[in-house]
Amino acid sequence: MSRYRGPRLRVVRRLGDLPGLTRKTPRRAYPPGQHGQGRRKRSEYAIRLEEKQKLRYNYGVTEKQLLRYVRQARRRTSSTGQALLQLLEMRLDNTVFRLGMAGTVPGARQLVNHGHVTVNGRVVDIASYQCRPGDVIGVRDRAQSKRLVTQNLDFPGLANLPSHLEFDKNALVGKVNGVVEREWVALQINELLVVEYYSRKA
C-alpha cells in the first residue's frame, strides 16, 4: 500500500482531526460517502483499524513502514504503544513540522526530500531519519531554502513547541534536547488499539 496522495479532507472527515495531514477544517462534520450520515455500529476490528489509519495518515507512512515501526517498538523495554509514538514523532519530517518549519508533515517531507534541511551541519534528505537527543536541525545555507522556511514560520501547523525541542527563529536552527513525552503528541489516539491491531499481523 503506497503513501496516500488523495483528498486530505475526506480522510479528516472519516478519522477526525489529523494535525500533521492538513491545517484545513472540513465544512461537514459527518464522514464522506453515500452512507456518511447514517448510523453504523462499528466492530472492534473497525475501531482498531481506524486508530491505525490515524497514525498512517497523520505521519505519512506506508503500511510497510508502520509495520516495521511496530516491530521496532516491540523490541524496546518501554511500553510498545509509547515506543511506537516516539519512533514516529522523532522522524526528521515530523520534527521539522513540530519546529514550525513546515505547515504539515507532507510539507516537511518535501522540504527534507528537496535537500533544504541539515542535521548537525550536513544535508539530510531522508524523511524517515530518526532524530536523536543532541541533534541540531537547521536550514541549508541557500537563499531559496531560507525563504521557504521563513514563509512557513509565519503559518506554523501547531502553535506550541514540544518540550523536547527548542528553536531559534532568527538563526533558523532547532535542537533536539530529548525524546518526546506522551503528553506532547498532538494526535488524539489510543496507541494500545494500534498495538492490538498488529498483534495478529506482526
DSSP state of 162: P
Q: For the chain, what are the domain ranges?
A: 8-87+184-198, 92-178
The pLDDT assigned to 8 comes to 65
Q: Are strands 173-176 and 136-139 parallel, antiparallel or unpaired?
A: antiparallel
The architecture (CATH level 2) of 8-87+184-198 comes to Orthogonal Bundle (1.10)
The pLDDT assigned to 9 comes to 63
| Full-model pTM | 0.85
Q: Is 5 exposed, middle or buried, given 0-12, 13-18 or 19+ CB atoms closer than 10 A?
A: exposed
Q: Average pLDDT in the 131-160 region?
A: 88
The pLDDT assigned to 128 comes to 93
pLDDT at 89 over 80: yes
Tell whether domain 92-178 is in CATH 3.10.290.10: yes
What confidence tens digit (pLDDT) does each residue in 1-44 have? 467 666 666 666 667 767 766 655 656 565 555 445 555 677 88
